[in-house]
Structure 1
């Protein structure tokens, strides 16, 4: 069993600009009357914020919010960035341009096409020299990102920043890799017990468990962002906000995670 304290959470998506507003929706059904339509991560200089793709912007917005909530300096945190598709608008542009006119590829868009673009912007913006990992595992990207972060803690890291994000599909690519809206979430996970903060315990199962009857029911947050490729992360956030004790999450064709949540 792997264990971690959840020191801080960051969130942006579905008209909810932060974790507090996501909790308000879950607990009382209230939503902000006015919300920004695009995240604006202050960790980037103004010119970089303008150029950054949407997925980079939402990832960094959530990441910094989690660090602030945990009162942790991002300069000393190792990080795990996980995304199902990365920035689809850039990937679709690259594929279309390579097919039509390969010499017309934009260098700026090319450097944003790599899957670790958000991690790269983060390390530059925060000035950190800590390790940054970028992964993708299809529909199991959040589960595998969480597992990676927990393993890093078990291997000796004092704290790890987990960032998960996905944006809307684009062009022809959206037909085979569908996703809607913009979603970013982040957690600072640590090995330091702390009274008043939830503790996460993770077990890896090699077959589908016998799940409680209500496990398949989607909560209001998951329904609100149902079309986004990172939606599988939302049941865990709902469980944390509503003081539930367990979440089961598929992590592969023959792998499941059982996540126990202890609320002090």
Structure 2
């Protein structure tokens, strides 16, 4: 399988990395973002903004920066390997103490909550997807986006985001997990912008799995900002390969 597409625009946010210039410098010398910062998300009225937690603010902020104001009704794909699992853990701990659960907290704990909040605050009525696909989450998000382009969508907004896992899951952590979010405005390969190809095939027996000092989501962003080269990513028996230029 090989798909091609164009990145018409991008935006990203992580603690200490809030501008395009900062991200370009980061791509030349990557590091794990750290800090307690949260996006201002001034585009959203205060009453609605209060309902959005830190991870949601990061994802929604990048979507606001990336989606053109006049581009209403385009589909979007929100993709996160873990989502806001800390919220789910808090609910489970409340249950273990036999405490009542907040309906609002429960509603915000589901995997599509951030995508739904974005559609509400922007008044969007178009199609949206929320997915999780393990260590291949960014790749799966782009496969979905290209499928939507093939169905006739002029563009698709892809938002990839994740947060640190709660300590109860520390034994399952297999890569760094800083708070981060990025958004790409994806169009057909013939459009103006950074042209990318993404291929998928069966990994050769004995081929080592990908190892990086970055979480895979940030490694994919670093690949885009590098402007050239390729990125290989093996997950289980699959090999994914990103390339610039199609």
TM-score normalized by the length of structure 2: 0.85
**Distance (Å, rounded) in 1 between the aligned partners of 2:136 and 2:154:** 25
1:86 paired to 2:78? no
Deviation at 1:45, TM superposition (A): 1.7
- Identify unmatched segments of 5+ residues in structure 1: 30-34
Relative distance call for 1:259 and 1:88 in structure 2 (3 A) is same
Correspondences of 1:104-119 after superposition (within 5 Å) = 104-119=100-115
Q: Do the aligned residues in 2 keep the contact of 1:39 with 1:58 (CA within 8 Å)?
A: yes
Runs of 4+ in 1 over 6 A off after TM superposition: none
Deviation at 1:201, TM superposition (A): 1.5
| 1:51 match: secondary structure | coil
| 1:152 match: secondary structure | helix
Correspondences of 1:69-84 after superposition (within 5 Å) = 71=68, 73-84=70-81
Deviation at 1:42, TM superposition (A): 3.1
Correspondences of 1:9-48 after superposition (within 5 Å) = 9-27=10-28, 37-48=37-48
- Identify unmatched segments of 5+ residues in structure 2: none
Relative distance call for 1:57 and 1:208 in structure 2 (3 A) is farther
**Distance (Å, rounded) in 2 between the aligned partners of 1:98 and 1:66:** 39
Counterpart residue number, 1:237: 221
Counterpart residue number, 1:32: none
TM-score normalized by the length of structure 1: 0.80
| Aligned residue pairs, count | 241
Q: Do the aligned residues in 1 keep the contact of 2:48 with 2:121 (CA within 8 Å)?
A: no
| 1:120 match: secondary structure | helix
**Distance (Å, rounded) in 2 between the aligned partners of 1:60 and 1:165:** 10
Q: Do the aligned residues in 2 keep the contact of 1:79 with 1:161 (CA within 8 Å)?
A: yes
Deviation at 1:210, TM superposition (A): 10
1:256 paired to 2:243? no
**Distance (Å, rounded) in 2 between the aligned partners of 1:238 and 1:185:** 11
**Distance (Å, rounded) in 1 between the aligned partners of 2:210 and 2:202:** 19
Q: Do the aligned residues in 2 keep the contact of 1:201 with 1:259 (CA within 8 Å)?
A: yes
Q: Do the aligned residues in 2 keep the contact of 1:202 with 1:257 (CA within 8 Å)?
A: yes
